[in-house]
Structure 1
């Protein structure tokens, strides 16, 4: 690791606060807040993942007033009830060793009425923003202006209470503070408008009240920064000398840094387009000695270490990094290690990179997502001309393609092109050439133009690809041929595809969702198997017969005995199949309904789902198995009494035929299809589900159209321990590790290690219909999933049981007595109250103590299509539907009336690999 780079030098701010290095994460919109601006748990984790080696994280802009959000999903600091959520963000960042600064703002006239309940936005003057369809705002009265300044002060106070190290006053991006300083938006005649001094009064007063709050409620190291946009295109509007005038006044009052808001570090003037001088050069030449003492942050286009070092060389003191921090949560570590980075995001990796779903769909990120479907395309070499049309922009480009890549993108000469777009084009051109893809990030401030340009390049590539196919004597619309089509990319589908490929099949995976993983990625506890190598290494004596008997009992004797016997017999082989593919599950725990430790999980005791999918995807990539994301199967084709392929519809609504003699359906269950659940179980109306949005039962419906029979459709499992606000499943491994369940009254009420259906029924029977899962530091240390729950923000903790009880609104003595009694049972290895015989691992007596409120949620649909032991789908007459195979939760009969925790992961690997093997053999016959 090279630590000689200047970007790692500490910097002392004017107030004495020390930043450990020159790198900051820039404030970027995530659109991830709740409807009222409160913080979500996934937003906390997004920031936690990106803190650490980077010196400072500036959290996205937080609106200070209910009329202030400038975009959907904005987070708020408009009331005290927002403090706890913001505190989670600050704590998450600081726990990793980074400074946490919160940006505060009000959108002013940039606020859309639909974001504020149809009300009219407010601004310095009743002048609409110069954009199509902009609403004319209501002019703030003098009294309202004073109140608005007070609200900024209240926001600073809340930021201090939330534990932030500082605030950044957002005086940029044409929001309210900038609107007060701009002649274009501020045409008032009172003390808040007029000449430059008067227009500067509002930002000065916001800074003044920030200082007052910091002096009153924070220590001397509290950081106060100011973000500014150096120029406006509007006439009249802010010019660079206006900005310098304001910055001098702000610096004289006291600032710890100023922060350029521009799309590129070395951007020149957008007004004086004949002057190529970077604005930072002008800034340094024009600033006074006072302003020179205030560090300046540069931002825009920083991806690699050389970019950051170049920023310092050109006179910036600090460097803010935006989109690179989204694409690479560990960006600072990577550039310190001299990694060369490309600015794109693999379309499969949203969850791995901890990018919240709303941010993933936001244009900022969407433009960086690389479409993997482009990979492997062949092109007819040549020059392809396309038109680009966006708003007033109309131009032509030439896209130069070789047989496998983009070699150049050229602007067709046009004297009407303005310099500003030429700069945008050159930046975007470079990105697309480096990525060999049109799917790169847009240029800040020119999103519409960027998207239009990228679409034009994409059209050229599509045209070239079609011409290549034609030149090769093919038809671009012709069906494609495969041996095996796998529908669904969860564990069963991936295992099936890998096995089919290894057996010599030409395979394709079809996934309707935008990411790989299905419901498997949410699996937590582990994979059950008896008589395994790993059990023997740990001295655990087990038997397949016992595993069979306990699963049959857990399923209330409704399990298909032939499928269950196959399941039990093949489980150890499935463990070895995974190990051979470097997916080793060598730690072992226990779940409810089992009497022996046979639940296999990763060595680090993390949740099995992410570990499993990560390993399977690596194997998919190594084999170069094609995966079609955001592609739905509209029909399984059936000709001459057998399956003949599928008809698919992609995200562009284009239809294709994929021919195959074997189709494996691994689409999961239907827990996320509320109507379907309620049609079989009306009593489950209103229950949350732990499943992902794609678990809609589509595979069952497709197979039913072929005549497939179903079984046990009314057998729907509710999991007893689900955190209700997030629908997050609390792993059975926590109870298997020694945790207990207590009622709101503070008492244990049932054997925690009974089967899921029985424990769920007992919880529903409580007055509150919910309970608390209680565990101590020993359980947490042995279950990595517990750290995940803590990070999600729904775990309460305290040093002692009594203090924990207070947080739970529970009688402290009752909870202490409950734990004491349980601990005696653990020592005696005999639960005199509820007959618990397993997972009595150790007394719960090591603080801190933890609690999670839980209640049941729809978790697994045991019913599905019928199959035989070879995974062939059967019709109502129990006859094989030739070419149709199924594996995973889409299948019924294996689990009976209740699934044992840990059996689902075993199910998907056992029957997924079996389906891959049998389907390939059938396709080759």
Structure 2
């Protein structure tokens, strides 16, 4: 078998574990744990991204004692409370087919006092490490040594209970286990020190208790590995002969592998510098038959396939890969496909590569980072002053620009400003400077001021760009030219722009409003998709066919089935596209009309809209995609049978022409255009709308001017749960989380999880024309949106149902009976009265109890322009209008006569990606 086939073939370890290949991700410090050593979600996703193609992931060293931290941000396995967090890492790795091994350690005298509450570290002897500023440790007593061994054992038990396939005992890097074996750090005169035999007792005892725990709690194939440093420079210190002695003793007890801890797999001795022989060659020549039966792993300098092959030719049975796995999460797949890799990280790719922020700043990674951003001139250097006008005051700001970045933003006025203003100013200023873009998240509670400041910075940038153009002899009246112009900055427009840019197109986004986000930013529930990775992780069995049938039924069988099939088939890829762009929708709930949990939302169960837009805008900024705000498209230029650009009008009443080979219209629907709504649906006169004020149907009109056909214009959806005073939508996730709808009479009146059109009709049929969403504390804690509704003053709460009924002027006997009946249905998982089959999650019985008064409002227009599966706009004869593309709610046909909750977010991302790809392909031909 050649080295390549051997490297990528399955490999069986001595205790029976089968690895799918001989490639492992090396354990590397990330410094990403919480202050108490618990696991962060960022860390879980870091490991998930790197598992799959590689055979085994060795998770970074985990301290077994809270006095053993050797670096900040370390993760721990020192108590049972840590098990659940570590289990998430194990599950993330194993769910995609890799083995998960956890490295365990204690820092000993390498522990920093400031990390362990100011206490002195412990060690075999009271001797400071040979480094500047090292603290003198306290020598462990004989009883404490035995207690420390038990701590390692408990760490192994917890690793097993967390679901890891094995542990790697960290006997290297001058940490505690190595300290016991070293004659430099261990100068004890009891049974744990003195002779080489005594110094070997501690690592052997740790191995022994690891076996005991594995035998008691784990599968027989549980992996036990040992990492060692072969030599020490200090005198006295560990020499290679000492290491061979220890390894022979460890092998005799039984191991699955030994892990050479060297900076380079073929490193020679650091003690005898005259001998160029790689230590692995000396090891192979010196080992006994027993030691030769234990697989040995090398680490260091593995970037390409040839590096791994060379290491194995010298005698390594497996190779561990460090920095290359950080730079390339799919490293094993790349090298198996024969790719030649260069070890660097694009400075703009931290989030895309799932590299936690603390690791990004770590010297190991920092040395690999290259600035790959555009270096061409963009601004005229100087200071540009603009006015910031919000609801309460007007101030001037100075925007200092260098040729390629925003250098600073300062308040020009020296007048006294209130603390609230200056605080929010500093936050938004910091965000803009960090992103080098005005397109950042607004400050919570200071949205108006944030948007005013962002707009002022945008104007300063525009002035600077114009000044730079004039300085270079350019003509301001000459049309600008792009490959693709995207009209609209909601989810569909942003996804389209990002994808088009990644396909190689030069992209401009034009938005008529003064902020990015469109109607998407108001989206609440989530994104539907079937057969996704996240469903599989949660054990949810779903099918695309069922998703298709339920969407077709929900749409009253009026859907364009060709578009619907594309929608359903492509949805899981769109979820992964978002994850690849740092926008993970890993929690799952359900909406009306669905029979299975398939509505993907953020892990913290928050509203999906703001989360999506924030993530997409970060991707926008990384790509330096141009954006024009407060700018309307007056018409699409159409010449010689194809689109040739757009005519624009900005907020300063300037008419501009932009040339482009493709135009993507992603302007949303027309729910906020009451005249247009009533024209198609007279029965909806007087209804409030959940949409933002820019949803007026302008995109449909400009496409109709160049011949676009339309479909389903009379199909307008009303959402059943809208707070009428503010037109604020109450998310379907509340009902999907277990809430019910109750009339003023205190009674349920319909299946809350039916489609929106049917639920709305039943509310309208009530004498009072409104209802209440009623839920308890259990629903609130699992739906972050509920806290927002409480903060906005929509929610009436009470400690008991009786008191809630009193506040609602409702018959408390009726409400109590309603809750009792529903709770019985939940217990039986059978709602005989109304036929509700989904979201029967838990009884409503845990106070406080909550209610929100709601009634229907205009929510979504299913009608719009006609497109094909490539998102090309079609004319009245179903012929392609060359260069015109559309995505999102501006398009008709996909949802038929009624849209299922969660399908709109899927729609904008799926067809936004497709539009970006198609428009770029057409423009770059």
1:263/1:829 Cα in 2 relative to 1: closer, same or farther (>3 Å)? closer
How far apart, in 2, do the equivalents of 1:709 and 1:500 lie?
25
1:113 — aligned with what?
none
Pairwise CA distance, 1:356: 5.1
Residue of structure 2 in register with 1:315 after alignment: none
**1:618-633 alignment runs, 5 A limit:** 618-633=618-633
2:471 alignment partner, one of 468, 472, 482: 468
Aligned residue for 1:797?
797
Give me the whole-angstrom Cα distance separating, in 2, the residues matched to 1:344 and 1:521: 20
Partner of residue 11, structure 2: none
Matched, 1:817 2:817: yes
**Are the aligned partners of 1:303 and 1:341 in contact in 2 as well (CA < 8 Å)?**
no
**Distance across 1 between alignment mates of 2:811 and 2:436:** 50
Selected match of 1:355 from 446, 449, 465:
446
**Residue 424 of structure 2 contacts residue 443 of structure 2 at CA under 8 Å; is this kept in 1?**
no
Counterpart-to-counterpart distance in 1, 2:719 and 2:795:
19
State yes or no: 1:644 paired with 2:735.
no
1:707–1:875 Cα contact (<8 Å) kept: yes
Contact 1:327 1:344 in 2 (8 A): no
User: Residues of 2 paired with 1:828 and 1:370: CA distance?
Assistant: 59
Separation in 2, partners of 1:769, 1:549: 32
The residue number in structure 2 matching 1:908 is 908
Q: Work out the CA distance in 2 between the residues paired with 1:781 and 1:591.
A: 18
1:875-924 alpha-carbon deviations (Å, 9 max, x no partner): 11000000000000000000000000000000000000000000111111
In the alignment, is the contact (CA less than 8 A) between 1:303 and 1:324 conserved in 2?
A: no
Q: Secondary structure at the match of 1:375?
A: helix
Match of 1:128 in 2: none
How far 1:725 sits from its partner (Å)? 0.3
1:686-729 deviation line (CA, Å, top 9, x unaligned): 00000001000000000001111000000000000000001010
Which of 345, 354, 372 is equivalent to 2:458?
372
Q: Give the C-alpha shift of residue 667 in structure 1.
A: 0.2
Structure 1 runs (4+) greater than 4 angstroms displaced: 328-331, 339-352, 365-369, 376-379
Aligned-partner Cα distance in 2 for 1:505–1:341: 25
Shift of 1:475: 1.7
Match of 1:869 in 2: 869
**Inter-CA distance 673–821: structure 2 relative to 1 (3 Å threshold):** same
| CA displacement at 1:345 relative to structure 2 | 12
Give the 3-state SS of the residue equivalent to 2:720 in structure 1.
strand
* TM-score w.r.t. length of structure 1: 0.54
Corresponding residue of 2:276: none
Deviation string 1:300-332 (CA, Å, 9 cap, x unpaired) is xx999xx9xxx9xxxxxxx9625312325699x
- Determine if contact 1:512/1:632 at 8 Å carries over to the other structure: yes
Q: Deviations over 1:581-623 (max 9, x none)?
A: 0100000000000000000000000000000000000000000
Tell me how far apart the structure 2 counterparts of residues 915 and 340 of structure 1 sit (CA, whole Å): 30
Local SS of the residue matching 1:509: strand
Structure 1: gaps spanning 5 or more residues: 1-261, 265-301, 312-318, 332-338, 380-461
The answer on 1:324 being equivalent to 2:327 is: no
Contact 2:440 2:618 in 1 (8 A): no
Deviation at 1:655, TM superposition (A): 1.3
Q: Deviations 1:269-309 (Å, cap 9, x if unpaired)?
A: xxxxxxxxxxxxxxxxxxxxxxxxxxxxxxxxx999xx9xx
User: Taking structure 1 as reference, are residues 781 and 744 closer, same or farther at Cα in structure 2, changes over 3 Å only?
Assistant: same
Contact 2:427 2:443 in 1 (8 A): no
2:675 maps to 1:675: yes
Partner residue, 1:739: 739
- Whole-angstrom distance in 1 between the partners of 2:734 and 2:843: 14
* 1:839-854 alignment runs, 5 A limit: 839-854=839-854
The within-5 A match list for 1:263-662 is 321-328=419-426, 348=439, 351-355=442-446, 357=448, 366=452, 369-375=455-461, 464-465=467-468, 467-469=470-472, 471=473, 474-662=474-662
Give 1:813 shift: 1.5
The CA distance in 1 between the partners of 2:766 and 2:878, in whole Å, is 43
- The 1:896–1:320 alpha-carbon spacing in structure 2 relative to 1, beyond 3 Å, is closer
d(CA) in 2 for partners of 1:620, 1:637:
26
User: Is the CA contact 2:440–2:617 (under 8 Å) kept in the aligned structure 1?
Assistant: no
- Could you say what the CA RMSD is over the residues aligned between the two structures, in angstroms? 2.7
Length-normalised TM-score, structure 2 = 0.54
Q: d(CA) in 1 for partners of 2:437 and 2:814?
A: 52
Query: How far apart, CA to CA, are the structure 1 residues paired with 2:843 and 2:444?
Result: 37
**In structure 1, what is the equivalent of residue 272 of structure 2?**
none
Change (3 A) 1:813 1:693: same
Q: Distance in 2 between matches of 1:480 and 1:762?
A: 53
- What SS does structure 2 have at the residue aligned with 1:547? helix
User: Hey, what's the Cα distance between the residues in 1 that align with 2:756 and 2:418?
Assistant: 49
CA–CA distance in 2 between the matches of 1:910 and 1:556?
A: 22
Relative to structure 2, which stretch is displaced further, 651-660 or 578-587?
651-660
Q: In 2, Cα distance between the equivalents of 1:579 and 1:806?
A: 46
2:796 and 2:907 map into 1 onto residues whose CA distance is 34
Distance change in 2, residues 1:322/1:830 (3 Å)? closer
Contact 1:534 1:586 in 2 (8 A): yes
1:502-527 CA distances to partner (integer Å, 9 max, x unpaired)? 00000000000000000000000000
Q: What is the deviation of 1:626?
A: 0.4
Deviation track 1:451-507 (CA, whole Å, cap 9, x = no partner) reads xxxxxxxxxxx5x445314x2xx3210011111000000000000000000000000
- Inter-partner Cα distance in structure 2 for 1:843 and 1:749: 18
Q: Could you tell me whether the CA contact under 8 Å between 1:348 and 1:514 is conserved in 2?
A: no
